[in-house]
Amino acid sequence: MIEPVAYRPGSIPAEHSHVAPVTDRRRLSLLLIEDDRADAVLVQELIADSVAEIRVAWAPSMAHAEGVLARERPDCVLLDLHLPDATGFDGIARIAERDATLPVVVLTGLNDEQFGVSAVASGAQDYLVKGRVEPDVLRRTLLYAIERKRAELIAVDLHASNLRAQENARLERGLLPSPLLLEGSEVSVVTRYRPSRTNALLGGDFYDVVQTPDRTVHIVIGDVAGHGPDEAALGVALRIAWRTLTLAGVHGEAAMRQLERILHAEGPGRGIFATMLSLAVSPDSPQVITVRAGHPGMLVHGPGTVDWVEPPAGPALGWGADGWPQYAMELPEGGGLVLLTDGLFEAHSGRGAERLGENGLLELARPLAALPGAAFVDALIDHAEARAQTHGGFSDDVAVVRVERSVR
């Protein structure tokens, strides 16, 4: 809090440093920048007569004021537009440069009222005309300036939040595309994404589904380590690259090698890595070909049963792998495979700081096994999120893809 300035050459005499009884809900601090001592004293007297508790520090020049602002932040600045070292709107600009959140009220002469209006257009919150100021008008003007500035800052923050939300929405669309299936596809797919809003930032979770002209359905799910726009952007790059490679006929280990090159080229820094799991579902074979790069396993959701399976894996992308083995497994008749990101099973279990884990997720999933595909996925995510509510819900984004052969 800025204290009243004690008398010294160039300051307000001590007898004019009276603080009026408190009528406002809190004590305000005002920095008065005025080179004319008589006008400064007049302002102090108006404040005393306004029955408001406002503590004033006086600066006879902009240089003096900048010294005060370097030490403390007042609630409001009352600025004369004609100073020895700042004229016109220069004083407003210098205050804004030092602290753009400070509300400023300008003082103008009787012949400069239009100048005061222009000052408001240049960033001041209000203006007062010397010789026409009453105590209550001064008090209301200062309080109004503070609230108006607060409203402006809230509006700026809201606009920035809206922009971030729009950017996140665009990133989400890039991370989570619509499945690209041919008409009459032999495979049905359920996709779900549940973003975490704990830190209001996207993670790098992504998935994609593409059916190639030979009617093979290719599915990928992945997760870039970390949270935020850089990781999300890398996830978008990997997802689009995977789709492009798949449509170009590059699959399995060959695709993983190209994706690792892209990760190194597009990654925000050293040490970044990503996990991925891809499936290839043939239209005329019960077998599914999997390639796993450090990604978690998946759930096998059969008729009334749920199991956890972890196909052989190579390292995560970015860890300098020698190779990623392909593994053939069968898609259960009447059932499906559920691919997921680790945000689902790394959520809290509802018991202290304990995490759900793969075993906990399996225990959660088995009582839901009788549900059909989409209902099963939704219930599984809802139950896991409910368990994590004691810690505010999911702490990471969650992506889930369930694939099964369509019933003919």
pLDDT digits (tens, 9 = 90+) for 179-213: 999 998 889 999 998 877 554 446 678 999 999 99
> Are 223 and 255 in contact, with CB atoms under 8 Å apart?
no
More confident residue, 22 or 52: 52
State residue 278 phi and psi, 5-degree precision.
Answer: -120, 150
Residues sharing a CB contact under 8 Å with residue 290, sequence separation 6 or more, in sequence order: 277, 278, 279, 311, 326, 327, 328, 329
- Check if CATH label 3.40.50.2300 holds for domain 14-156: yes
Query: What would the mean pLDDT of 39-51 be, rounded to a whole number?
Result: 82
- Mean pLDDT highest for which of 18-22, 202-206, 336-340? 336-340
CA–CA distances in Å: residue 333 to residues 84, 287, 302, 330: 87, 11, 7, 9
Amino acid 5: pLDDT: 41
Amino acid 64: pLDDT: 92
Rounded CA-CA distance 102/119 in Å is 15
359-388 pLDDT per residue, tens: 989 999 999 999 999 999 999 999 998 888
Whether the model pTM is above 0.75? no
| Sequence-ordered strand ranges (E) for 174-240 | 187-194, 203-211, 217-227
Please say if the pLDDT value at position 230 is more than 90.
Answer: no
Rounded CA-CA distance 324/23 in Å is 74
Rounded CA-CA distance 75/104 in Å is 9
Please say if the pLDDT value at position 108 is more than 90.
Answer: no
Rounded CA-CA distance 2/406 in Å is 74
Amino acid 173: pLDDT: 66
State residue 51 phi and psi, 5-degree precision.
Answer: 55, 50
Sort 341 into a burial class: Cβ within 10 Å, 0-12 / 13-18 / 19+: buried
Best CA proximity match to 28, nearest among 91, 105, 80: 105
Amino acid 155: pLDDT: 85
63-83 pLDDT per residue, tens: 999 999 999 999 999 998 888
Rounded CA-CA distance 247/211 in Å is 8
Model confidence at 59, pLDDT cuts 50, 70, 90, reads: very high
Amino acid 294: pLDDT: 94
The ranges assigned to domains in the chain are: 14-156, 177-405
Model confidence at 36, pLDDT cuts 50, 70, 90, reads: confident
Best CA proximity match to 1, nearest among 50, 55, 67, 70: 55
- Mean pLDDT highest for which of 22-31, 168-177, 205-214? 205-214
Query: What would the mean pLDDT of 209-229 be, rounded to a whole number?
Result: 91
More confident residue, 2 or 319: 319
Using DSSP's 3-state secondary structure scheme, residue 148 falls into helix
Q: In the chain, what percentage of residues exceed pLDDT 70?
A: 88
- Mean pLDDT highest for which of 20-34, 112-126, 260-274? 260-274
Lowest mean pLDDT among 8-22, 32-46, 117-131, 305-319: 8-22
* H/E segment holding residue 31: strand 28-33
Model confidence at 336, pLDDT cuts 50, 70, 90, reads: very high
Please say if the pLDDT value at position 277 is more than 90.
Answer: yes
Sort 266 into a burial class: Cβ within 10 Å, 0-12 / 13-18 / 19+: middle
Structure tokens, 351: 């018991």
* In 277-407, alpha helices (H): 357-365, 373-387
Best CA proximity match to 202, nearest among 400, 394, 402, 401: 394
Residues sharing a CB contact under 8 Å with residue 399, sequence separation 6 or more, in sequence order: 176, 191, 192, 193, 194, 205, 206, 207, 221, 223, 340, 341, 343
Best CA proximity match to 221, nearest among 345, 385, 398, 369: 398
Best CA proximity match to 219, nearest among 375, 405, 403: 403
Amino acid 276: pLDDT: 96
* In 35-80, alpha helices (H): 37-49, 62-71
87-107 pLDDT per residue, tens: 878 889 999 888 989 999 988
Q: In the chain, what percentage of residues exceed pLDDT 90?
A: 39
Amino acid 406: pLDDT: 75
Please say if the pLDDT value at position 4 is more than 60.
Answer: no
Amino acid 331: pLDDT: 84
Expressed in angstroms, the distance from the first to the final Cα of the chain is 77
Arch. (CATH architecture) of 177-405: 4-Layer Sandwich (3.60)
